Amino acid sequence: LLDPAGRLAPTIFAEMSALATSTSSINLGQGFPDEDGPVEVLEAAKKAITDGVNQYPPGRGMPILLEAVATHQERFYGLRPDPGSEVLVTAGATEALAATLLALVDAGDEVVTLEPFYDSYGAVIGLARGEHRTVALRGPDFAVDHDELRRAITDRTRVILLNDPHNPTGTVLSPETKALIVELAEQHDAVIVSDEVYEHLLFDGRAHTPIATLPGAGSRTVTISSGGKTFSTTGWKIGWLTAPAELVTQILAVKQFLTFVNGAPFQPAIAVGLGLPDSYFQGIAATLQQKRDLLSAGLTAAGFEVSHPAGSYFVVADAAPLGFDDAVDLCRRLPELAGVVGVPISAFCHPDLAAELSSRVRFAFCKRIEVLEQASAQLAALR
């Protein structure tokens, strides 16, 4: 994450999206949808602007959204966080992650994450001067090795930072893995921070189970999510977290100096989204599953070996069968070879696992069907 001068380097997403723009390639690198989300949500934001909801809202978030987050948690998971003390609105999941880690991690504290890991995790653990330990997810199914998990979590562990469903592998944690994580967190008195931004994007009939629903977990878990993925509003940056009141108080103390408050007119709009009927949530998962299958078939036909993601909007494609061992090099050349942009999995890894997964590329399938068809046709040129 650091450049040769020891400064934080630009993220892989900025680099790859700039490459897509400058080469007019199809951007399957940065994960964002190329279509607008539900019209009710968009209209609610427009109405809020015209109605004058344009000044600083409360720091915790607007009551209508705090209530909607709590009601959504109850409706889907049977959880009932107190809207006034156990919910916090943030500038996307990104700020929720940053404020939580900066609040909880002191210099030298260990934070355990899965690896590959979303790039902001490594950066923010570094900003908090924490020590980053990881548990590798290895192909082809990218499951958690329980022995490795037991070795990684010790009395030095302050936070166990999960991502379920997982970016970039698409893995969904098994009930056994989640139960073991709760057991280890209790044993070593660690806080669980669970990034669940893809909570509604699960496939093949799966339903999401937040780790906070497991016995013993609720009192030590911070659950993070975001409107960006669920309502295709990644540019609005409205996220939230739910946690016991005393943790929310500590996190709010940091959050007030990061952004203070967040996008007023977008908050009632995301509240409308969270209240949409079940059919909306089922519909987005079903549509994305179709897109997963379409792009996976295209990548397979092009000669990649593809993973079978259970959730998220990413598929991992191994370019080794095509003779490419270095996905960083391949991703830089992919615009000229096929007019497509992807992201090397190594961007989500420390050096050892990066070397092991060096031929893997992450492709995002949250794009229109015709775009995925066009990308598949162009990728066929790699054969």
Footprint of ligand GLN (CB under 6 A): 11, 13, 30-31, 167
Using CB under 6 A, which of the segments 41-49, 65-73, 226-234, 332-340 binds ligand PMP? 226-234
| Minimum gap (Å) between residue 11 Cβ and ligand GLN | 6
Task: Tell the burial category of 304 from Cβ atoms under 10 Å away from its Cβ (0-12, 13-18, 19+).
Answer: buried
Query: Is residue 304 classed as helix, strand or coil in its secondary structure?
Result: coil
- Asked whether the bond before 116 is cis by omega within 30 degrees of 0, the reply is yes
Q: Is 31 a binder of ligand PMP (CB under 6 A)?
A: yes
Helical axes 12-23 vs 327-338, angle rounded to 10°: 20
Task: Assess 100 for contact with ligand PMP (CB under 6 A).
Answer: no
In the bound state with ligand PMP, the residue whose beta carbon lies nearer, of 366 and 379, is 366
Neighbours of 339 (CB within 10 A): 18
With binding defined as CB under 6 A, does residue 234 bind ligand PMP? yes
DSSP secondary structure code for residue 10 in this structure? P
Tell me how far apart the alpha carbons of residues 312 and 301 are, in angstroms, rounded to a whole number.
22
Which residue has the closest beta carbon to ligand GLN? 31
Residue 37 as a binder of ligand PMP (CB under 6 A): the answer is no
The answer to the question of residue 163 lying near ligand PMP (CB under 6 A) is: yes
Of these, 37, 81, 92, 268, which contacts ligand PMP (CB under 6 A)?
92
| Smaller CB separation from ligand PMP, 191 or 338 | 191
| Residue among 16, 197, 272, 317 that touches ligand PMP (CB under 6 A) | 197
Q: Which of 27, 113, 223, 226 binds ligand PMP (CB under 6 A)?
A: 226
Binding mask 58-77 for ligand PMP (x = CB under 6 A): --------------------
- Answer yes or no whether residue 213 interacts with ligand PMP by CB under 6 A: no
Residue 234 and residue 198: Cα distance in Å, rounded?
A: 12
Residues 6+ apart with CB under 8 A from 278: none
Could you tell me whether strands 143-144 and 131-138 are parallel, antiparallel, or unpaired per DSSP bridges? antiparallel
Nearer to ligand PMP, 118 or 363 (CB): 118
Per CB under 6 A, does 93 bind ligand PMP? yes
Q: 363: which strand partners?
A: 315
Task: State which residue, 13 or 77, has the beta carbon closest to ligand GLN.
Answer: 13
Q: Is 309 in the site for ligand PMP (CB under 6 A)?
A: no
Helix (H), strand (E) at residue 344: strand 343-344
DSSP H helices, 218-368, are: 227-230, 245-258, 266-274, 278-302, 327-338, 351-356
Interacting residue ranges for ligand PMP, rule: CB under 6 A:
31, 92-94, 118, 163, 167, 195, 197, 226, 228, 234, 237, 239
